[in-house]
Amino acid sequence: MSPLPGAFLRLATTALLLLASAGFAAEPPKTPESAVPVPALAGAGPEQALIGVLEAIKVNRLDLAAQRIEALIATQPNFRLAHLIRGDLLLAHAHALENFGNVPKTVPQEKVEDLRAEVLLRSRAFRDRPNGERLPRYLLQMHADQKHALVVDSQRSRLYVFENAAGRPQFVADYYVSLGKNGVEKTREGDQKTPLGVYHVTAKLPRQKLTDFYGAGAYPINYPNAWDKRLGRNGHGIWLHGTPADTYSRAPRASDGCIVLANADLEALGRTVQIGLTPVIIADEIEWTEATALETERQGLADAFESWRSAWESRDAERYLGHYAARFNSGDQDLAAWSQQKRKVNGAKSWIKVAVSRIAMLQYPRESFIVVNFDQDYQSSNLSNTMRKRQYWIKDHGRWRILYEGSQ
């Protein structure tokens, strides 16, 4: 049974408005609907299948859209957004539709608005997928043991996975995510915000050790990090985790600060995660840059880092301390206290050797500094030690200098 002409037009128009706001072309086809080609979706995942439904609506193929939405629900019966679209398609047989998500007024409208926001974010992400020509400016350098990096774009509710391809980040996957109810930039316990910054996965919590609320499992990250603590931020328990069994996905802003994925997406993501190694960079909105510009930035910092290492070996205290910013801090030591200690310690050495390896460089979102993590093998005339170290480097009067330094 085909929908009534008026209802058909209203639903198609509503869908076109949604698709236009998401960046899809909104020009209705000039050819009969049966002649309009729509790409096949064999083997498509749930999100791509959903996009296929919207594409069919866009070209006025409501028959195909109905077939596709039924197939999607058959495989993902807990996908609430799919059920909402299915309801619209069914209602279009009976009367004109006023808007996307024509549900009874007894249904809380904020729930419908959440689903509207979700479909727009998913559609925009499909249109704006990275093409490899531009890279996130945060991933200056990963060391060889880091196989992947995760970058979250909070405005788009999207998590992007980049593979370490011979030192250069290469886009491999992306997933819809839900974030904090009150947005981002977490500062205190209970503010229901997702933090912004550079973090690392610290553990894997399997499904068996958690309640159903966390779905397929969880991956905690190290919030608050050293920078958060320096700014007085507190709170804990920021995880990447899944959804309850009766929920395919949550609204874009629905967590208490965690990053929430569909269970199948979390399981796929888990195959790329390395405990203690995988960086998780959470940004307002990803800043993209050309590969050449990223390499220029990386090389400039690499040169400054090598100059710092060489200066330390030289035992020239003033040359060495010239690599530290006036706002430098390390625990309870400011630059003055640090300088006093280093002059005393270095002056007692007859020789120093410093070897560094496994160097990673990650730009901090919203801030002007870069996080540098590395292994340090320190040898001197009266002391030897090895440690994993972390520094924050900042441009200070046109020159790279160290803002923070500590063990990792």
For 147-179, write each residue's pLDDT tens digit. 999 999 999 999 999 999 988 899 999 999 999
Are residues 173 and 278 both part of a single domain? yes
Are residues 295 and 352 both part of a single domain? yes
What is the CATH number for 186?
A: 2.40.440.10
The pLDDT tens digits of the residues spanning 20-50 come to 444 444 444 444 444 445 555 555 689 999 9
Q: What is the pLDDT at residue 60?
A: 83
The pTM is what? 0.88
Are residues 273 and 160 both part of a single domain? yes
Yes or no: say if 199 and 279 are a contact pair by the CB < 8 Å rule: yes
Are residues 334 and 346 both part of a single domain? yes
> Mean of the pLDDT values across residues 189-195?
97
Q: What is the pLDDT at residue 167?
A: 81
Q: Work out whether the CA dihedral 231, 237, 240, 245 comes out positive or negative.
A: negative
The CA angle 120-201-164, to the nearest 5 degrees, is 75
> Residue 387 sits in which domain range?
290-407
Q: Give the three-class secondary structure for 78.
A: coil
Closest CA to 62 of 15, 99, 97, 17: 15
Total number of domains constituting the chain: 3
Are residues 119 and 141 both part of a single domain? no
The pLDDT tens digits of the residues spanning 214-250 come to 999 999 999 999 999 989 999 999 999 999 999 999 9
Give the side-chain half-sphere CA count within 13 A for 21.
Answer: 13
Are residues 100 and 153 both part of a single domain? no
Are residues 343 and 262 both part of a single domain? no
> Mean of the pLDDT values across residues 203-213?
97
Are residues 119 and 190 both part of a single domain? no
Q: What is the pLDDT at residue 68?
A: 94
Q: What residues have CB less than 8 Å from 140, skipping those under 6 apart? A: 294, 297, 298, 301, 361, 362, 363, 370
**Chain-centre distance of CA 283, in angstroms?**
7
Q: What is the pLDDT at residue 104?
A: 56
Share of the chain above pLDDT 70, in %: 85
- Is residue 296 classed exposed, middle or buried when 0-12, 13-18 and 19+ CB atoms within 10 A define those classes? exposed
Are residues 311 and 375 both part of a single domain? yes
